[in-house]
Amino acid sequence: MPISPARIIAFDTLLRVETEAAYASEILHARLNAKMDENVPTKAAKLSTRDAALATEIVMGALRWQRLLDFFIERYTKKKTTAIDAEVLVTLRIGIYQLRFLSRIPARAAVGESVELVKRARKTSAAPFVNAVLHRAANESREPAENFFPQEPALVDALALAHSHPTWLVERWLKRFGRAETAALLDANNKPPNRACAVVDSENRDNVILGLAEARVESQPGRLLRDALIIRSGDISKADAFEEGRIAFQDEASQMIPLLLRVNRGDSVLDVCAAPGGKTMALARAAGPEALVLAADLHENRLHAMRKRLARSEMSNIKMVALDATASLPFSGKFDRILVDAPCSGTGTLARNPEIRWKLKSSDLAELHQRQVLLLSSALERVASGGRLVYSTCSLEPEENEHVVSETLKAHPEFRTDAVEIPPGILAVDALAETLVGDDGAFRTFPPAHHTDGFFAAVLLRR
């Protein structure tokens, strides 16, 4: 039985995530935009839209539901997943995911191609084992998963297994959000996120929409931002607006962060953790071509990718520098506006980056907190008199958000927080500013409520 290109890409991607701690979205982007390898008969052909969609569905679905899939694997094999070879384990996850979650995939295709995948991975001796396990899985695939759970599990265990999340993460969310909001969050994390886009030049928005329609890309207005678009269907890469850099994929909450900095024409701006560059571009547009906009990042390779992206947008007022921003910043001058979009756990992005939930450990939060305090502290030293700084993360965890701000301010009494103000005219018609800013003045988005990634932002002013 030949193996479809979609399943080959899904297998290769998931195996790298499993064995190399790679990020699925990065691998998928590279594979879906490349020609197929020598194992695929249609070597010279570009991957079809249908195969690209199926590969993405299998990869992201298998990662989101990995805990539940592993529960069934251990049920059928009577082995711990840690005792199963990675190639076999990934094959079983792919097979069971299709059997349980993709009703349009015939069982024979899910089973048969999985057997061929494990052979392709040079694990031929495991083929009968995979075949037997998946046939058993197929026989039970229409029964609700809960029917097989241990009797009367604790609430946290039941939610964690049923929604395929780590128990420690569900436990802390239950304490903070309560049962209803936690269940809604878990559910949101297991659904594909909106394919939101930022329109680079808002005055050109109508032309962008027209161009998307001509490329057979269906879009709709953003939920939060007036100038955002959500792609409903179609291949955006075929649209001139995407190729020319006039539109870029970016979550709506992420699009809002640079707007909170309230950059004025001519302001000097520092983006401390700039890559991949979406927020930097928004800052540069607000500051204007005559202003200094400095984009810094720890990794030179990320800045290189950012340069290629900026080349399409024809922005010339952005300068780049690779540096470790946890140390004192090597600048003699100060900046009117600084953005610290800090590297974080990413718990607000688990729908978009599902593998994070399996990589992250509770102990990581303390380490991230320490690094974030150093980043914020060094950035504060470069804020000009009367200047403004925005600290943001895509995390839901207080250790990375409120606690970072409060600890840093204790060491820098010359700064204070200021309530976030949503700039007038940027919100979509039905979006309400009061749902985005809490009683403490901080900006927050919550995935099930706002249909975006979960973001936090605080504004800090020099007294």
Mean pLDDT by 10 residues, the chain (463 residues): 94 97 92 59 62 96 98 97 98 98 96 98 98 98 94 92 98 97 98 94 88 94 95 89 88 98 97 94 93 94 87 80 95 96 98 97 98 98 96 98 98 97 94 96 98 98 90
How far apart are alpha carbons 272 and 221 in whole angstroms?
31
> Helices 49-64 and 24-32: crossing angle, nearest 10°?
170
Q: Would you state the pLDDT for residue 322?
A: 96
User: How far is 461 from 243, CA to CA, in rounded Å?
Assistant: 39
Q: Measured between alpha carbons, how far is 69 from 58 in angstroms, rounded to an integer?
A: 12
Using CA atoms, how far residue 422 sits from 125, 131, 267, 273, 369, in Å, is 61, 56, 19, 22, 27
Q: What share of the chain is helix, strand, coil (3-state, %, to 5)?
A: 50, 15, 35
Domains of the chain: 5-148 (1.10.940.10), 155-189 (no CATH), 195-249 (3.30.70.1170), 261-462 (3.40.50.150)
Find the catalytic residue in 197, 273, 344, 394.
394
One-character DSSP codes across 47-106: PPHHHHHHHHHHHHHHHHTHHHHHHHHHHHHSS-GGGS-HHHHHHHHHHHHHHHH-TTS-
DSSP 311-331: HHHT--SEEEEE--TTSPP--
Looking at residue 305, its pLDDT comes to 87
Query: Can you tell me the distance from the alpha carbon of 274 to that of 295, in angstroms, rounded to the nearest whole number?
Result: 5
Predicted confidence at residue 174, as pLDDT, reads 98
**Quick one: DSSP state of residue 193?**
P
Q: Residue 264, Cβ neighbours under 10 Å: how many?
A: 14
- Indicate the angle between helix axes 127-140 and 66-77, nearest 10 degrees: 110
- Bridging pattern class, strands 443-444 and 335-341: unpaired
Q: What pTM does this model have?
A: 0.94
Q: Output the six-digit token pair for 457.
A: 């932002």
- What pLDDT score was predicted for residue 293? 96
Assigned token pair, 2: 């030949």
Pairing of strands 293-297, 269-271: parallel
What's the pLDDT at 308? Answer: 83
Say whether 394 is catalytic.
yes
pLDDT at 244 (0 to 100): 85
pLDDT score recorded for residue 40: 43
